[in-house]
Amino acid sequence: MASLPEGDPAPATGELPDSAAVDAQLRSMHAYVHIPFCRVRCGYCDFNTYTATELRGVTPSSFLDDLSLELELAKRVVRSAGLPERELSTVFFGGGTPTQLRAEELVNVLAKLRDGFGIAAGAEVTTEANPDNVDARYLQTLAAGGFTRVSIGMQSAVPEVLAILDRSHDRANVELAVHAAKDAGLQASVDLIYGAPGESIDQWKRSLDAALALGADHISAYSLIVEPGTKLARQIRSGELPEPNEDEQVEKYEIADAAFSAADFEWYEVSNWSRGASSRSAHNLAYWKSNDWWGFGPGAHSHIGGTRWWNVKHPATYAQKLLAGQSPALAREVLDERTRLFERVLLEVRISDGVSIDVVKALNPNASQPISQAIADGLVDAVEAIRGNLTLTLKGRLLADALVRDLLG
Ligand SMILES: C[S@@+](CC[C@H](N)C(=O)[O-])C[C@H]1O[C@@H](n2cnc3c(N)ncnc32)[C@H](O)[C@@H]1O
Ligand code: SF4
């Protein structure tokens, strides 16, 4: 499972440095809630999630009590840090599989966040969902309880690819879940993965067609990452499965972008497309624009005004810390100005609004040369660059990481 960064020790009280409150009125506040449960683990996934036998006595009910303790801690910490009162602009339940909990339980956690922080009018409230464990009643309960959006792990529409990915759902479950979400008045997003070992171009096109036929408002398409330590990594090492083909990954991205554009979806982040600006994920945009969020739950990351911290990973350790009256944070980093600017470039260059050239030049006063080169190479939009912004072209989206290295020298 992916390890966490090292960082500095985090205070047991959870308290924040004074710097966290500086200019806080200019940033919005958000909440992420990590639900660390999955019925089975998919072969490719190294998210911080646990199946029933790995939970060392933690149950959904004890976990919900632990979350409530972290919520009380968050209220105390935010109040004593001198932060202004800010209602939550978005809430996102991720995992793991949040829909392993009952819909009423998710609604109850949301109600506690509403009591504790307030939820802004028109806030986006999303949960990730596994197509296997949601139905019409489940989604109606979420909608009635204040959820506005559901993000469904579709991954592929092709049975052979779903089998290689170790997924337990089939295409019909996804259709039912998206249609039930729309009927309940929820926005629906689907996640796709491209580049599973052996996936052909034709199979990928079939998944794209199927995703577009669903009538979803938003699609995320992720290139498969072979995470060390996963069953998939072992299957590739032993020769049981072929390595993903990197050239084909590029081709699959281009095919996806063309298919989405033809269906009136626009890209707004390298891996994300939406039907118009109102269907973008406001929560993910808040991360990419370095706003403030509290990440509740084991392994969750938080960021407030340049202080970043992350919780202990195992739900049992998370419970022990909170029951002992301590913050569940494992470690933290207080970012200096330069690192904050660096992160802005890294994140903002990947969104369609782009990153301001002023920010790039604050880090690298000699950036004019690599910027001219990026325009000449067709990586960034020339007209936007004249307006002072670097926004990626299709070619630039495929080479975003290399471009950042060149820009920052
Ligand atoms: C927490 S899961 C979504 C909800 C639910 N657990 C599910 O899988 O249906 C978040 C998304 O991360 C993506 N993901 C997970 N592991 C990945 C990997 N190794 N490479 C690329 N995408 C990955 C999948 O698309 C997945 O839908
Ligand atoms: S992809 Fe989703 S369902 Fe599969 S193990 Fe990861 S978090 Fe669980």
Q: What is the pLDDT of residues 183-230, one digit of tens each?
A: 999 999 999 999 999 999 999 999 999 999 999 999 999 999 999 999
- Phi-psi region for residue 374, left (φ > 0), alpha (ψ -120 to 50) or beta? alpha
pLDDT, position 4 = 63
For residue 250, how far is its CA from the centre of ligand 1 (angstroms)? 20
> Cβ(227)–Cβ(364) under 8 Å?
no
pLDDT, position 171 = 86
* Residue 5 clears pLDDT 80, i.e. is over it: no
Rounded CA separation 337/137 (Å): 48
User: Among the CATH numbers 1.10.1740, 1.10.10, 3.30.70, 1.20.1050, which is that of 336-409?
Assistant: 1.10.10
Give CA 163 to chain center in angstroms: 24
Q: Which atom of ligand 1 is nearest to the CA of 155?
A: 25
Average pLDDT over residues 11-40: 97
DSSP of 330-351: EEEEE--HHHHHHHHHHHHTTB
For residue 62, how far is its CA from the centre of ligand 1 (angstroms)? 25
Average pLDDT over residues 136-154: 98
Q: Among 28-42, 79-93, 166-180, 368-382, whose mean pLDDT is lowest?
A: 166-180
pLDDT digits (tens, 9 = 90+) for 235-290: 999 999 999 998 999 999 999 999 999 999 999 999 999 999 999 999 999 999 99
| Assigned token pair, 240 | 């049981």
Q: Which atom of ligand 2 is nearest to the CA of 41?
A: 5
Nearest-CA residue for ligand 2 atom 5 is 41
- Label residue 277 exposed, middle or buried (CB < 10 Å: 0-12, 13-18, 19+): exposed
Q: Which atom of ligand 1 is nearest to the CA of 45?
A: 16
Average pLDDT over residues 398-403: 96
Average pLDDT over residues 142-168: 96
What's the pLDDT band for 169 if we cut at 50, 70, 90? confident
* Residue 408 clears pLDDT 90, i.e. is over it: yes
* Residue 135 clears pLDDT 90, i.e. is over it: yes
| Assigned token pair, 199 | 């996936």
* Residue 390 clears pLDDT 70, i.e. is over it: yes
> pTM of the prediction?
0.97
The residue type of 153 is G
* Residue 1 clears pLDDT 90, i.e. is over it: no
What's the pLDDT band for 355 if we cut at 50, 70, 90? very high
Rounded CA separation 92/106 (Å): 11
In this structure, the residues whose C-beta lies within 6 A of any atom of ligand 1 are 44-45, 47, 94-95, 97, 128, 130, 153, 155, 191, 193, 222, 224-225, 227
pLDDT, position 6 = 77
Residue among 190, 133, 124 at smallest CA distance from 157: 190
Rounded CA separation 318/380 (Å): 44
The length of the chain is 409
Q: Across the strands, what pairs with 267?
A: 273
pLDDT, position 271 = 98
In this structure, the residues whose C-beta lies within 6 A of any atom of ligand 2 are 38, 41-42, 45, 47, 49, 95-97, 130, 153
pLDDT digits (tens, 9 = 90+) for 101-125: 999 999 999 999 999 999 999 999 9
- 128, 132, 207, 252: residue to mutate for ligand 1 pocket, most atoms within 8 A of CB: 128
In 10 A of CB 332, how many CB atoms? 20
* Residue 31 clears pLDDT 80, i.e. is over it: yes
Rounded CA separation 202/241 (Å): 19
**Every domain range in the chain assigned CATH 1.10.10:** 336-409
Residue among 243, 138, 148, 253 at smallest CA distance from 194: 253
pLDDT, position 2 = 58
Longest CA–CA span in the chain (Å) reads: 59
In 10 A of CB 53, how many CB atoms? 6
**Every domain range in the chain assigned CATH 3.80.30.20:** 8-288
Task: Give the CATH H-level superfamily of domain 8-288.
Answer: tm_1862 like domain (3.80.30.20)
Nearest-CA residue for ligand 1 atom 8 is 153
pLDDT, position 219 = 98
